[in-house]
Structure formats: structure tokens, C-alpha cells
Structure 1
Amino acid sequence: MKLSRKTVLLSSVTAAFAVVGGGAVIAEATADREVEPEGDEPVEETTADPVGELLASMSLEDKVGQLFMVYVHGESADTDDPDAVASNRERLGADNGAAFVAAYRPGGVIYFDWANGLADPEQIARLSNGLQDASAVPLLIATDQEYGSVVRIGEPATQFPGAMPLGATRDTGAAEEAARIAGAELRAMGLNHNFAPDADVNVDPENPVIGVRSFGSDPDLVADFAAAQVRGYQAGGVAVSAKHFPGHGDTSTDSHVGLPVITHTAEEWEAVDAPPFKAAIAAGTDMVMSAHLQFPALDDSLKPATLSPPILTGLLRERLGFTGVVVTDALDMQGVRTEFGDDRVPVLALLAGADLLLMPPDFPLAHQAVLDAVGSGELTEERIDESVRRILTLKHSCGIVDTPEVDEGAAADSVGTDANRAAAQDIADRSITLLANDGTLPLASGSVLVTGWGENTTRMLASALSASGFQAEAHVTGDEPDADAIASATAAAAGRDLVVVATRNVRAGSPQADLVAALLDGAAPVVTAAVGTPYDAAHLPGANASLAAYSYAAPSLAALAKVIAGAVEPTGTLPVDVPAASGDVLYHFGHGLGYR
């Protein structure tokens, strides 16, 4: 029988990974089966270095493929949808995911709702299994499921509030349990890696890319919660990636569209940015993701951290002692493309100390560039082997090689269960923070107008208030209400017992602030509810009451309604300082009012 390339590699995988869980598993592998031992015959142990044996069986092309994680288009691995096929050909050089992984043998695939549909647990599990079936070496299958503002897989998956509301609970046990549940749901759908938790310390209220993705502005709090979530995700069955090293919490530029500069001194980095990464490493994080930003105090060459040997090797590897996989942030982001071409970025990232190259904008170009760099001697094959060994070791230690596929039929029963949803709601209930209150809250009953940011948000909050016994109506004004929208909202507020204004990302001069000011001129008391960062409160003076939910996920909106009604006591406390426009602190870290 002539064996295919895939069959030969799969045999190598089976044999090389026969030692699992610290003990010997009998595995005299053939092309398509494992032979079980008979009787009580003594068993000869397999190689002490299963990863090394597999690595030795791989060609250079195999190994370079393992260095990449990409996204593929299509709701199924073998999609023939014309749009998906065209997108895959343009970016990957293959028709669909199955063809791509068979041809290039990448280390992993990352899911996005806009690329893969991600419609329901069974479809996602079927996609995962299809990709694994096509891959010679089991894949890392990942997504960015941070929850809160960064969610790739929506309902029916359990929707947790996110990092900053977790920080507001001050309960690391809740953070660990949320991650465990989330990890188990992802694993049931065939995902085995999550790009979480965010270990950034958000000390810049104007930060356009982190904000509520951070647990807070206190390094110790962020460290404790990041470590808790590392433990939780791993207990749920998925690998994790602490991000964005060396710290993205003090930037006013979004690295998706530009190159941020961190002006912290080395001492400030040690005190502010480093503790969460140290804690995540101590907790056993599988990966650390690099940031596309300049940090002059750590590397005066001004190379982005993703391309910086002093940061990735000198600091992360040698000083912090991280031995796991270093993954880049997405290589299609502008922050890493400002100076170097798409053919140079992957090579420079590997030279800096990265192992896994995430989402190059032109995969064939990037793949060939790494091969060419080995051919020219700029990169050595020994250097490639170092990274591939780390990636294969991760796949081995996480059980991905043993059980790459999942039960598609069982996925739906494991995702979004009543118990999981109840856990998410409990966390949301305990995260709501009451910043100010003149006695308006709680309100036992009456007519409530809900207006402000977000069409879905205002309607969902009105529905939640109706479920709490109010006569609630949503009045959509748009994210940046103009004069007509503001006038319409003030007219709708007439005769109401309460007006609730949902806000998000309010800045000085924001039309959202104009809306609140106009409503305050009316007779009805006004409650502001920040469904993003709590920094909104600094630009909304005079409200009768001010709430911070940190999230517009359904559990957070339900929790807001319960707090307004007095069915739940507000117990959340600020995980950040909220500065006033003057620069003084308006509400300090730890602030939070109650009703009693």
C-alpha cells in the first residue's frame, strides 16, 4: 500500500506522542491504527523526547508551516461558496480551509464570525473537525473570546461581561470560574486555544483599543485576575495567551491603525506593566502575545515590540524566564507594517524571538520569505526548530494531539447551559457600580424612557426594565445624536418617572453629553449608565444617579435593570480611577456606593 504524505505524518504524530500524562501509553503505531498490549507483558517505553522525534520527521516546509496561524473563510472546512473561495485564494493561495491546511500544514487556524459564520455550536464543531481531519499535525484552533467588547462567538454561547466588570467584582474566584466555563464551551466546539486574558494595565482613560478589555488600572489587581483566568481557561481545556507584551495599557493610539509609543521609564514598566505578565507566567500561561508598539525605555532602536530582540528575547525570555510560545499580534495590523514590508516582518519577528506568526496579510509571501531567509542563512534551521519544538510541545501538553476532534452532536448540549448562563448573570449582578446617587435610585415602579448609545443596547435595557416591572420604552437616538434626535428624546421624556441614558466612550464635546444635558433640563430625573468604560462619568455632570456596567452584554444590561429596580444591591467597586476634566480624580479606584 502506498501511504499518502498525510498518513505518514499522522503515523509519526501517533508514535511521537505516545507518551502522555507522565506515563507510557502503549502505541506501536501503524498507518491507521494503534496496537493494544495483550495480557500482562512488560511494555517497552517509547522515546523520552516524543516532540523531538516528530520534529526530526518533518521537512523544512513542514516546520515553517507550523510557525503560522491564519484565518480561513468558510462555514465548513471544504466550503465551495464562491465568495469564501475567492477570499481564500487571494489571501492564502488555496480554495478552502481543508485544502490550505493539507497543502501548507500551518500550526493553527483562528476563527472570526465574519469569516467562518460561527452560527451555532454544531456548525463550529463540524468546521473544527473538518480542519483537523485535513491536517497532518493536529492544529491549534483559536479565537479572541475575551468577552465583553471582544467576542467572536455569540449566543447561544454563554456571554460573560468581560474583564473590567470582573475586576469590579474583586472576586478572582469568579474570574477563574468564568474562564473555566468559557474554556469548556470553546473546547466542546473544537477550539483548543483562546487569545485571552488581557494582561494590560489600563492607566490611560483615552486608550482607544484596551479600555474595558483590561481588568483595571491597578497592577496588582490585574495580575491577580490575569493569573486566575490563566488557571481557569486551562482547567476548561484550552490553552491561553496573555497579551499584549510588554503592555498596551497606556496608549492613545490603536495599533490596528498606527504605531503607539509607550513613554514609561524602565522603572515604570517594572512597577506598572510587568506584574500581570509575571503573574500570568507564574500561573503557567501557554503563550504570551507581543504588542505592535514602540517602548523606547526597553528598546531604543524604536522597533515595534513584535520585532524587538531586546523585548522578546532579552526581557520576556531571559529576564522573565518565559519558556512557552511567543505569538505575535496580527501581522496585518498597521502598527507592525509602518517601516517594514510584509515579506520582512515575519522574518524579523522570528529573529526577535517570536514563535507563532499570526495572520500575515499575504500568507504565501510570508511563508516563502521565511523559507528564503533560511536558504540565505539569515535564519538557521536550528532557530526554526526552537520555535516548532515549543509549538509542538504545547500541542502535546494540552492534549491536542491525543484528541484533536470533538463530538459534533454533543456540542450544543455543552454550550450555553442554564448553569453557565446563571454563572454569567451572577458575575454581572455583582459588577454594577453605583458612582453617584441623590436618592433617585432605586426606583420601585413607574414609566421609564431608555435612550442614548446603541440601538440594540437601549432596546435590550428597556426590555430588561420591562421584565423588572416598569413601563419601559426605548427611544433610539444614535451613537452621536444630532439636534433633532436630542429634541425628539427630550420630548419623549416628558411625563416619565425616570430617564436612563446609556453611554459609551463619552469625550469632551461629545453629542452624548449634549443629550444628557438636554434631558437634565426636563422634569424627569436622569440616570446615566456607562456600558463601556466608567470614564464617561467625568463628562456627564449633574446626573441624578450614575452607574457603571462596563459592558453591553445581555447579562450586564439585565443586571443594570435589577439594580435600578432595587432587586440587586450595587456592590461593584471601581477597578480604575475616573479623572475629572481638570485632571484631578473624580472617583477613586475602589469607589462604589450602595443602597444601604
Structure 2
Amino acid sequence: MTAAATALLMTGAGTAVAAGPGTTVITTPAAASPDIDAMIAGMSLDEKIGQMTWTHVYGSSANDTSMAASNQERYGVNTPAEVVEKYNLGGVLYFAWSGNTNNPQQVAGLSNGLQQTAVGADGKGIPLAVTIDQEGGLVARIGSPATVLPGNMALGAAANQDLARAQGEILGSEMRAMGINVDFAPVLDLNSNPDNPVIGIRSMGEDPALVSELGAAQINGIQARSVGAAAKHFPGHGDTSVDSHYGLPTVTYDRATLNKHLEPFKAAIDAGVDMVMTAHIIVEAIDPEMPGTLSHKVLTGLLRDELGFKGLVTTDALDMAAMAAEWPQEEIAVKAIQAGSDILLNSPNVDASFAGVRAAVGSGEITEARIDESVRRILEWKVKRGVFEQPMADPANVDKLVGTGGNLATANLISDHAATLLRNQERVLPLAPGSSVLMVGAGSGRPETAGPMLKEQGFAVTEDYENGASPSSAYRARAVAAASKVDAVVFASYNATSNAAQQQMVAELAATGTPVIVIATRNPYDVSVFPGAAAVLNSYGINRVNFHGVVRAISGAVNPGGKLPVNIPEADGDGVLLPLGFGLHYDTSTPEAVTFTDRPGKGQDAYTIPAVAGVVYLIEGKEAAAGTYRKPAGTVTVTAVPAKGYVFTDSAVTQWSHTFTTGLPKP
């Protein structure tokens, strides 16, 4: 940390309070209220570029040398702390593959170590934005014991604003407990293209109103926990058929269609979102030549001027092929700033980015005043979101706040609400208690997770699993042979619309005559290629929490209430098979009470079983018809169970018992 970078950061002496071994927490009002004008005036150009540079580091602690070779190759230094020091970084970005996210305590330790490096021994340096892509579901850099959420499309299927807010609060509280102060979430892209290879279940759906409502609720939840949220990927990555990690997508729709994709971003801006992340896509309706990340028309003309966004603009990762394969990093950095971005995220060549910006300022291509605008926004955000006031995590609180019982229960509740029933021929679901089940599926669909969960629901489960997305002929043959021995087959599919082997396996299983129940575990479109399946449910993910709701729906423990957050096209793409908002549920019934008449003697003793649609009454395990039964003896116990295709309402009474007297009437 150079003298210029630390000049006038604090207007008075700071106080350091110990928060655990090797941890210092800065808590003074002076640290919380820096003189930003003086800070910027005292910074060198390189220090300003450093504030605009947020990138990943390799290692699990600030001084970890175990990944020194990777740090050397990318940055020319050995440790994460040395990367922060070399560039006076404004922020760091965590990934699992870079060794940053092994467990919550380790993450907190890394965050604190890097913040100590940034603020310096005197506490007068500029604390870091510590960032992560923790969207919940498919993209989550930190796994269990942090809370694993079902994901955004599950949230869209649940269509519950309170649950969306709760998801945001879980993300915000758990990230902040680990020292992370920016979550690059939520995804606000409308997944209107079923062939989208990069968004899919990361999206909350394709309905602008629904995504707007749930997105704003998530943002409010995240930011209520002192973590900055980022609406992404502006101006909408949901209608692409190219993954921008590997190529440069183009969307060709008109401005009216674009306006629909902009609605969730408008809602996010109205909700006060801290940041907007750009999309590496060409939007022909605005700028047919440059991708959004590098387009002044998109970032300044549309986002700043038309939509009125005043917060931070960050690029998506600049090492993605949509950028890195098209332009040199020197040029990318300059164009991104000229377009209107404040943050250069994860450049694959930070030295080149610095050099490009330096040269552009030197030549007048970019003014230093323009650099100062971005630095000011970054520093003001760090003040607003409490990064100056409290940059550190408290290690003593990590285990108390991360993966709590309440958070896990909320994740399961989202899953229960998200379970979406798309087909239920002949009321095959819910399965009768104690049914025998064969659990199979594509290895990529994680059937081995669902099998034990079905056992927990009381089913007799035979399990057979195989690795890989495409079931082999031998595996298919084994499953077909076993299908005749069970009441139902449960098959976990995974993006089966593009997998002929999965389609063939379900068709072969259906041909046995045993009902096949498909759990579509990834993108929600698989129902279109399984005409032989008796029932199809969408789980919107492959984690245990995703199976929680659909497995309980199979048993009838929950009544599936999820609604499709997207349209499902016909298998040939011609027309809509199932519309947005479609979702089946079981019929519900409430058992009426069995009445008992017990008078002295037996002649007038009786019990009456009512006739109720959807209710089967049992005595000693055998069905008892509705009617009055006279002269019973001893104890009579009547139990109610749901009829095929029904579930009972919550808190329904399902058993009645009476012991009849045998005394004679008095003379």
C-alpha cells in the first residue's frame, strides 16, 4: 500500500478491535467516513486503475503458496496477498477452482487475510470488494455446509415473493458472515430460448413480470444483509444460443422484444440494486457492432441515460472467449471504460489491462477525470455498503450464521413449492404407501441422490445406477428386466431433449407396462420427448434440495404446486406443448369423522362410515364401504387413506377408534 493510496483515508486515529486469532476488525467512525475527494486526489493513476480492477487469486489463505505456480503464471507473484499488493486491487473474486472456497471458516480466513493486506497495518488502506457468484442452485461457488438452494428457476416455479426475499437474505447473511460483501446475483435474464446453453435454470423464467418481482425481492434480501447485489446480465442473455464463455452471441430481436428483457433490470434499478453486470452479447436493436460490455450505446446510452442507473457497472469476466478471443486485453479494458463500465472483472492479463488504460490516459483517449468518476463510484459504494466500516468477518460467528437450521428449512420449503407436475396419467401419482420402486436414470441426473430419499418416504426401492449422461444398452436392458418386478419406475433425466439414449430408455421402460415417473432434473423441457412416461415432474436441479420437493410429491407428502416459469415447446419446436404457468396438482379431500353409537347392551350399538370423495376407509387394513355397521364388538379402529390421485388437506384427522361396552341395559 503506497503513501498516495492511503493519504487522508481517515480523518482521525483508527481503533482496532481483536476479533479472533490473526483478525483485526476496523470499527471506528473515521474509517467508516473517509474523505473521498482527498483520497482520489492523493492516488496515482495506477492506484486508480487498481481500484477498478477486480480479479481472482489462487489460494485458500492470504499467504498460501500451494498455488504459487498459478499466481506466478497469471500475475508474476506467489500468494493472494501479493496479488492484492502488486495491483492495489479494488476487489477480488472467489472461485472453487482457484482454491478459495473450501469451507466457510476457510473462506472467512481468506477474506480477513486479504482485507488485512488491503487496509494495511495502520488500518488506513482501502478495503476490498470481496466478490463471488453465489446465485444459488447451478452456480454456487460455496457448497455445503453453507446453505444449498434449489436455484432461480425453482424459485420462479414457486412464484413466491416472500421466498425470493428469503433466498436473498440467506445469500446475503451467509456471504457477509464469510467476509464477502458482493454477490454477483441475481440473474435477471429471461430464459426465452430453450436452446440457451448458459442461462437455463439460472433464470427465474421468461415472464418479465414474474422475474421482475422475484428479482427485486432477492435484491432487497441480499442488500438488507450489507452485501451488494448485481443484476445480470444486462441487457439480457436469455435469448442466446451461444455460450459467451466460448463465443460471442448475437441477439437479433427488435426493440419491442428487447424492452421485455429490460423490464427486470428496470425493476432492479427501482429496487436500488448496487451493481449491474454487463453481457458479452451483441444486441442488434441497440448496437449491431459491439457487444454490450464494450458498447457506449448499451452501457451509457441505454443503462445510464435511458434507464437512469447511477450505481456501479461491472463487466462480466473478461477472460471469457466472447471477449478474450476477439480483442487484446489492452483494447478490451479501454473500450469497457469508454463504454461506461466502472469495474474490469477478471482480466486474463491484468498487466495488459493496466498498460492499455495507462496508454489511453496518456494519449487523451480516456481522460483521468473519467477514471476518477469510476473510482469515486467504487469508493462511495464501499462506504454505503459498510465495507470501510466493517471489512472483516468475525470467525466466531461463521458457524452460527452459515448453514443454519432455519436457512436449510427455507431451502427445503422453496423446493416443496417448486415441485412442478406436468403429467399424471391415470392418477399414477401419488404412489400408494409402501409401493415398490425401481430407481434409475442418466448418471448426470444424480438418480443415486433420489433413491435413498424415496426409501425415506417408505417405498421399497431397488436401485441401479450408471455414470454418464447417455445410458448404455446394457444398463437399459437391466432396467427393463427389473421393471416388471416393481409397481413403478422412477427415472432421473438430464437435458433429455438432446439425448437420444435417455429418450430410448424411457420408451423401453414404458413399453413394459410398468408406470414410468420421470424427474426432469435440469432444464425444464424434457417432458416433450417422453410421450410414454406416465408422470413427469420438474426439479430444476440435481442437488439433494432439488429432489426434496419432487420426492415428497411422489409420496403425497406435499401436493405439487409449482407452475412452469417458461413455455415448453413441442419436441419438433413447432408450437407450445405446455404454456407458461402450467402445473398440475393432486385433488384434495378431507376425511369426515366416523361416528360411534354405544348404548348399554349391543342391540343399538353401531358405527357409521361416511361416503367422502377421495377418501378410502380401512378396518384392519381392508377397505370398508360407506354405511352403518350394527352390533360391533370390542374395539373398532377405522383409518382413512387418500384414494388414488388424492392427498388430504393439512391437519386432516385420519383415524378414529372406539371400544364398545358390553353391559346389559338396566331394568
Counterpart of 1:5 in structure 2: which amino acid?
A: T
Find 2:10's aligned residue among 11, 14, 21: 14
Matched with 2:537 is: 547
Matched, 1:180 2:164: no
Matched with 1:123 is: 106
The correspondence of residues 429-508 of structure 1 with structure 2, limited to 5 A, is 429-438=416-425, 439-443=427-431, 444-454=433-443, 457-477=446-466, 478-508=468-498
The correspondence of residues 6-155 of structure 1 with structure 2, limited to 5 A, is 9-10=5-6, 12-15=8-11, 28-29=12-13, 50-81=35-66, 84-135=67-118, 136-155=125-144
* Residue pair 1:144, 1:196 contacting (<8 A) in 2 also: yes
SS in 2 for 1:236: coil
Matched with 2:636 is: none
The correspondence of residues 283-362 of structure 1 with structure 2, limited to 5 A, is 283-300=271-288, 302-362=289-349
Q: Provide the C-alpha distance between the structure 1 equivalents of 2:2 and 2:422, rounded to a whole number of angstroms.
A: 63
Find 1:377's aligned residue among 364, 379, 395: 364
Structure 1 position 547, deviation (Å):
0.4
Matched with 2:576 is: 585
Count the aligned residue pairs.
566
Counterpart of 1:105 in structure 2: which amino acid?
A: N
* Residue pair 1:142, 1:192 contacting (<8 A) in 2 also: yes
* Residue pair 1:295, 1:305 contacting (<8 A) in 2 also: yes
Matched with 2:189 is: 200
1:207-245 Cα shifts (integer Å, max 9, x gaps) = 111111111111111111111111010012210110001
CA RMSD, 1 decimal: 2.0
1:424-467 Cα shifts (integer Å, max 9, x gaps) = 11111111011110111101222212221336721111111111
1:128-149 Cα shifts (integer Å, max 9, x gaps) = 0000000131111111111111
* Residue pair 2:8, 2:34 contacting (<8 A) in 1 also: no
* Residue pair 2:5, 2:47 contacting (<8 A) in 1 also: no
SS in 2 for 1:13: coil
Find 1:222's aligned residue among 211, 214, 217: 211
Q: Which moved more, 1:488-497 or 1:532-541?
A: 488-497
Q: Provide the C-alpha distance between the structure 1 equivalents of 2:330 and 2:162, rounded to a whole number of angstroms.
A: 44
SS in 2 for 1:95: coil
The correspondence of residues 234-273 of structure 1 with structure 2, limited to 5 A, is 234-270=223-259, 272-273=260-261
Provide structure 1 residue ranges, at least 5 long, that are not aligned to the other structure: 16-27, 35-43
Q: Provide the C-alpha distance between the structure 2 equivalents of 1:227 and 1:460, rounded to a whole number of angstroms.
A: 33
Matched with 2:651 is: none
* Residue pair 1:445, 1:565 contacting (<8 A) in 2 also: no
Q: Provide the C-alpha distance between the structure 2 equivalents of 1:102 and 1:241, rounded to a whole number of angstroms.
A: 26
Counterpart of 1:139 in structure 2: which amino acid?
A: L
Tell me which of the two structures has the higher relative contact order, counting C-alpha pairs closer than 8 angstroms and 6 or more residues apart: 1
1:98/1:338 CA distance change after superposition, 3 Å: closer
Report the TM-score when normalising by structure 2.
Answer: 0.82
Q: Provide the C-alpha distance between the structure 2 equivalents of 1:197 and 1:180, rounded to a whole number of angstroms.
A: 12
1:11-59 Cα shifts (integer Å, max 9, x gaps) = 63333xxxxxxxxxxxx236x779xxxxxxxxx9999983222222211
Matched, 1:568 2:558: yes
SS in 2 for 1:268: helix
Q: Provide the C-alpha distance between the structure 1 equivalents of 2:444 and 2:462, rounded to a whole number of angstroms.
A: 12
Counterpart of 2:416 in structure 1: which amino acid?
A: D
* Residue pair 1:13, 1:401 contacting (<8 A) in 2 also: no
Structure 1 position 513, deviation (Å):
0.9
Counterpart of 1:99 in structure 2: which amino acid?
A: E
Q: Provide the C-alpha distance between the structure 2 equivalents of 1:47 and 1:125, rounded to a whole number of angstroms.
A: 21
* Residue pair 1:549, 1:560 contacting (<8 A) in 2 also: yes
Q: Provide the C-alpha distance between the structure 1 equivalents of 2:5 and 2:48, rounded to a whole number of angstroms.
A: 12
Name which one, 1 or 2, has greater alpha-carbon Rg.
Answer: 2
Structure 1 position 476, deviation (Å):
1.8
1:260-303 Cα shifts (integer Å, max 9, x gaps) = 11011112111x21100000011011110110111111113x21
Q: Provide the C-alpha distance between the structure 2 equivalents of 1:353 and 1:334, rounded to a whole number of angstroms.
A: 21
Q: Provide the C-alpha distance between the structure 1 equivalents of 2:225 and 2:442, rounded to a whole number of angstroms.
A: 35
1:11/1:489 CA distance change after superposition, 3 Å: farther
1:462-518 Cα shifts (integer Å, max 9, x gaps) = 111111111224322331123223223223333122111111212255221111111
Structure 1 position 566, deviation (Å):
0.5
* Residue pair 2:9, 2:31 contacting (<8 A) in 1 also: no
1:436/1:103 CA distance change after superposition, 3 Å: same
- Percent identical: 43
* Residue pair 1:199, 1:223 contacting (<8 A) in 2 also: yes
Counterpart of 1:292 in structure 2: which amino acid?
A: H
**More strand, by proportion:** 2
1:510/1:72 CA distance change after superposition, 3 Å: same
**More helix, by proportion:** 1
* Residue pair 2:189, 2:203 contacting (<8 A) in 1 also: yes
Counterpart of 1:297 in structure 2: which amino acid?
A: A
Matched with 1:415 is: 402
Counterpart of 1:538 in structure 2: which amino acid?
A: S
Report the TM-score when normalising by structure 1.
Answer: 0.92
Matched with 1:21 is: none
The correspondence of residues 380-391 of structure 1 with structure 2, limited to 5 A, is 380-391=367-378
Matched, 1:276 2:264: yes
Structure 1 position 336, deviation (Å):
1.6
Provide structure 2 residue ranges, at least 5 long, that are not aligned to the other structure: 18-28, 119-124, 588-667
Matched with 1:232 is: 221
1:473/1:47 CA distance change after superposition, 3 Å: closer
Find 1:392's aligned residue among 360, 363, 379: 379
